[in-house]
Structure formats: structure tokens, C-alpha cells
């Protein structure tokens, strides 16, 4: 099969990588977060093909989360280049920011 045949057939390749864990920070009541996460059964693309299945969720409380959230990066005209929007790694997203905007 040639490359032209692939394009005609609409064949698409996807990178498949397994992951045992995903770490995300959020603010909220742990029971409410668990209820919301219970609805999420898959993540990412090609979920209809069975990819990205979530086997379980662990919600851990962090007593310092609210303080960490307050010290997040904010746009600041006098700050150093940083990013506040995804994709965080893309250079076009860099802008003057400060992580101490709230003091």
C-alpha cells in the first residue's frame, strides 16, 4: 500500500503509550471531585476504540492547595516571560508574568 492509498483510505496513526498515573491539581470538596471524576471513564483521543480507559481515580487532599493556587502565575507587564495558557511549552504562549502577583 502506498502513501497515497493511506490518504485515500483515511488511515490515521496514533501514538499509543501506557501510563499508570496522571497527576492533576484542583480545588474543590473531595467528595464532589470524586463524584465528577466518576463520570470520566476515558481520556484522550480514540476513546471509542477503547483507548484511554481510566481504571480508577484517587483523590488526595492537600492542606496547602489553596495557598499554592494563590501563588500561581499571573500576567504582569513587569514580569519575566512565562505562560498562563495551554500548551504551556509553546513559545507563542509566552508573555510577561509574575508568580507573586498577589504578594
Report pLDDT digits (tens) over 33-90.
Answer: 999 999 998 888 778 887 888 888 889 888 888 888 887 888 888 888 887 777 677 8
In a domain, 81, yes or no: yes
Model's pTM, two decimal places?
0.56
Residues 25 and 58 in one domain: yes
Read off the C-alpha cell for 95: 508573555
CA dihedral defined by 32, 33, 38, 42, rounded to 10 degrees? 150
Question: Could you tell me the residue range of the domain that residue 53 belongs to?
Answer: 16-62
Q: Which of 31, 26, 101, 30 is nearest to 69 (CA)?
A: 26
Residues 45 and 75 in one domain: no
Sign of CA dihedral 82, 84, 85, 86: positive
Amino acid at each position: 500500500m502506498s502513501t497515497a492509498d493511506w490518504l485515500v483510505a483515511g488511515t490515521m496513526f496514533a501514538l499509543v503509550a501506557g501510563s499508570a498515573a496522571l497527576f492533576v491539581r484542583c480545588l474543590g470538596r473531595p467528595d464532589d471531585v470524586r463524584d465528577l471524576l466518576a463520570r470520566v471513564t476515558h481520556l484522550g483521543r480514540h476513546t471509542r476504540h477503547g483507548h484511554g480507559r481510566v481504571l480508577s481515580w484517587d483523590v488526595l487532599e492537600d492542606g496547602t492547595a489553596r495557598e499554592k493556587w494563590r501563588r500561581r502565575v499571573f500576567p504582569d507587564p513587569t514580569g519575566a516571560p512565562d505562560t498562563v495558557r495551554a500548551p504551556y511549552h509553546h513559545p507563542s504562549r509566552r508573555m510577561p508574568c509574575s508568580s507573586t502577583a498577589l504578594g
